[in-house]
Structure 1
């Protein structure tokens, strides 16, 4: 019996040359279980079924692995946001779908949500919250890129005053992220009814504040 098996690690097969990816996958699994505190390079090596010295050939330290796990968590969040946008029928609905996907991800994957913005490098943002040049459909798109694209669409159909566009993404993101954090780590109720009610209030506030429309009016 190998020492790795004797220690109880879960062997994860990987192809030659893909150990770095295997370590990131192991780090993501650890983050899913317990957030950023759970991501330890030695533990990721054990999960991948290799020695910690082998892991150090790919990552200089825990922070280097944590940065990649953070990037992977944001990529998963961006994918869910993108799916929500694709299922919505109009710009206002897509704006709501972005927020709904964000909060849903946080509630369903609290460990990944905590690690998503815990480590650098998170792309620097202009203080005014200006849009990114990355296409939202790109695999490298960040959650912020997807939000910016939806706000651009809302502006394009005349629902968002161009003078209010700078900083709009920061305002919307802050409101939704704050709600997500309060649901995951704070005192807000996490029953289905409680989440739906809180989300409705925050998304309504964003729509009325930025667009001057009531998303419930057409229902």
Structure 2
């Protein structure tokens, strides 16, 4: 999705223009930067025009957050593609788990404003009906992509089936914690090489722990 600000919108495209304007705002300043008045200004309409598509600020925020999760899903899929090409089922499954983790960590570092928005307070993907906006080519949101990789590990015999239930929460908590240490915590001043090495070790630890 393009996130370029628009000065005007085309007929029937106001909702998209507002979401794109909102994405630009949160990319720059995180979730607190999403101000409805500023989003409408960037879309080239009056604040009242937003209410044709969004009942309030929270409704716009949820639409923006959904679009951001879609971008995160695409980043994770980009890492997945190479791993999915491996011939050996066990190596492919292990590679897929590491790939979704790398995509997640890389997104947190490269797009910190979007990452913070994706996980700002609100209704999360595990609690609401499926939404294509939160997905990329595979039709899976980021949480489902992690489940996809874990299922591949079970099918390949790498992860015992009895250890599969709840495994996504364990893996997610570890990788999300590392992401926060890198963007907001003591690892924010570490070199890119140090962050990469620690990230790789963490992903290996998650695999072995599971």
TM-score greater than 0.5 by the shorter chain: yes
Q: Report the CA distance between 1:176 and its aligned residue.
A: 0.5
Partner of 1:42: 37
Tell me the distance in 2 between the aligned counterparts of 1:138 and 1:101: 15
Contact 2:125–2:143 (Cα < 8 Å) also in 1: no
Q: 1:144-193: CA deviations, max 9, x gaps? A: 10010111011101000111000111101110111111111111134211
Q: Report the CA distance between 1:124 and its aligned residue.
A: 2.9
Query: Which structure carries more helix by proportion?
Result: 2
Partner of 1:66: 61
Tell me the distance in 2 between the aligned counterparts of 1:200 and 1:86: 18
Partner of 2:89: none
Partner of 1:142: 141
Instruction: Extract unaligned runs of 5+ from structure 2.
Output: 87-91
Contact 1:13–1:48 (Cα < 8 Å) also in 2: yes
Contact 1:73–1:115 (Cα < 8 Å) also in 2: yes
Partner of 1:12: 7
Contact 1:75–1:140 (Cα < 8 Å) also in 2: no
The structure whose RCO (Cα within 8 Å, separation 6+) is larger is 2
Structure 2 CA distance for partners of 1:61 and 1:139, relative to 1, 3 Å: farther
Residues 110-149 of structure 1: pairs in structure 2 closer than 5 A = 110-124=112-126, 140-149=139-148
Structure 2 CA distance for partners of 1:139 and 1:66, relative to 1, 3 Å: farther
| TM-score, L = length of structure 1 | 0.83
Larger radius of gyration: 1
Q: Report the CA distance between 1:12 and its aligned residue.
A: 3.0
